[in-house]
Structure 1
């Protein structure tokens, strides 16, 4: 999709950092940047203008316009060559950003917020968008660095396949190495005929490892052909995937994972691995749904 990159802003330092990341993403993709501020106060029927005894430039509406102006200025400083548009939208942040995601190629948010995006914590807005947004969501946290690999979590699922494709595209655009991480002792969703099922471990751990190596290779094969410029490194993890991924983020410039939405917010990655990374990653986190029309 060639829609714009959308970034939600609220006047916080975190949001301005998100604007910088979003501007660079728009430049990499060759699309415009759309800066959005959710303005909930009209729906609450409060006075939006300046106080009769206050400064002329006071009032909620003027404050909201300044939030947008500051964000647009930061975006143009970061990427002067991209088109930047702005929009003040009446509504609460979750609904506004979910609606914006329908026409966007990517939605970017900070990990914390204030003002128009009050409560913009990874437990609310980011999780909601990751589960229900119509495009990939990039949550800016940790260090927004320009060096290091792009890391992707791989488990062989359709959701992870969409994440792998997104990660390859990001690595190609950034000129970065891709590190694909897969945990090979996770049995929760596998059948008895799977080489990695505990009942089939009688042939030894080598059989399990070989099956997981094959799964990882197959998950990457088609994308490697499509992006031959991307250097790929595979990492098999014998153990818990969450600490392994968090460790990778200490050196990465981006980590990408799939989101499994199963009726609401429930999903294997969204409920556990994604939550852990959204709270503890040392770099920006992209969550990609595999069921986008």
Structure 2
């Protein structure tokens, strides 16, 4: 895993408990990847033309500084020795984090933040950043686990290939098994405009989908000989199959957009589904726009 470029793992904080969970996750991830950790807080009040000293007994800027200081201390506790810095940046949270993605190794954030509607499973900031980021986005969902496999969704798309590489890197860094899960429902179209057959042989279909999975994994064992890779092809809705696998996984990795999804979508339906329902942290890996 190349960390010579000096790119940091960046975590967004807002003082909420989900953000502190993200800090702990980010600190451990930065240590594993031998990268510095950068704690960032989006300070929106100047954009709203609110006087910095408006609250009685203390200024808004001081509150923001306390949020960052608490997060930096939390990172040091979670991963002693991690190289961590903190910064307050004027701007709305999603915009600030997206501004970091061009130079970050990874963005980490909580699934919800302060001011979010409690009924929302995943907050708007997480969805926006995962939709537009130029680097992998790790969302602190579900239960943190130190064991279990790294699970990656594989469907043969370009986005899936990027996700597979990230997942293999992560499995190597964690000393974990890599479960490559390919979920399918119908025969695969082989070209634009192709129609799926109305009648097909289930055994032949499964064999064909296993071939798609094997082709996606070709060469992976040579690049990552230390990682035990388990391929699994199942007939199921991809979002449902990945969510079920997340119950025993330490990390779930998906591409930003899968095979057969509309190319105009910034974040595919499968990625959105697991962000809302997974029972472990989720990494979304997007290709270049």
* TM-score, with structure 1 as normaliser: 0.88
Give the superposed CA RMSD: 2.5
By how many angstroms is 1:122 displaced?
2.8
Q: 1:266 aligns to what?
A: 265
Q: 1:11 aligns to what?
A: 15
How far, CA to CA, are the matches of 1:8 and 1:264 in structure 2?
Answer: 29
How far, CA to CA, are the matches of 1:72 and 1:257 in structure 2?
Answer: 29
Q: 1:289 aligns to what?
A: 286
How far, CA to CA, are the matches of 2:189 and 2:46 in structure 1?
Answer: 47
Asked whether the 8 Å contact 1:192–1:200 carries over to 2, the reply is no
How far, CA to CA, are the matches of 1:264 and 1:10 in structure 2?
Answer: 33
Deviations 1:56-76 (A, max 9, x none): xx1211110000000000001
How far, CA to CA, are the matches of 2:172 and 2:13 in structure 1?
Answer: 28
Matches within 5 A, 1:177-188: 177-187=177-187
Unaligned segments of structure 1, at least 5 residues: none
Corresponding residue SS for 2:225: coil
User: Measured at CA, do residues 143 and 260 of structure 1 come closer, stay the same or move farther in structure 2, by a change above 3 Å?
Assistant: same
By how many angstroms is 1:213 displaced?
0.9
Q: 1:37 aligns to what?
A: 41
**Structure with greater helix percent:** 1
How far, CA to CA, are the matches of 2:214 and 2:77 in structure 1?
Answer: 41
User: Measured at CA, do residues 36 and 264 of structure 1 come closer, stay the same or move farther in structure 2, by a change above 3 Å?
Assistant: farther
Q: 1:211 aligns to what?
A: 208
Q: How many residues align structurally?
A: 281
Matches within 5 A, 1:134-149: 134-149=134-149
Q: 1:199 aligns to what?
A: 197
Unaligned segments of structure 2, at least 5 residues: none
Corresponding residue SS for 1:68: helix
Q: Point out the more displaced range, 171-180 or 126-135.
A: 126-135
User: Measured at CA, do residues 184 and 260 of structure 1 come closer, stay the same or move farther in structure 2, by a change above 3 Å?
Assistant: closer
How far, CA to CA, are the matches of 1:199 and 1:10 in structure 2?
Answer: 51
Q: 2:167 aligns to what?
A: 167
How far, CA to CA, are the matches of 1:199 and 1:122 in structure 2?
Answer: 37
How far, CA to CA, are the matches of 1:154 and 1:243 in structure 2?
Answer: 14
How far, CA to CA, are the matches of 1:156 and 1:209 in structure 2?
Answer: 15
User: Measured at CA, do residues 106 and 189 of structure 1 come closer, stay the same or move farther in structure 2, by a change above 3 Å?
Assistant: farther
How far, CA to CA, are the matches of 2:154 and 2:37 in structure 1?
Answer: 30
By how many angstroms is 1:256 displaced?
0.2
Asked whether the 8 Å contact 2:11–2:107 carries over to 1, the reply is yes
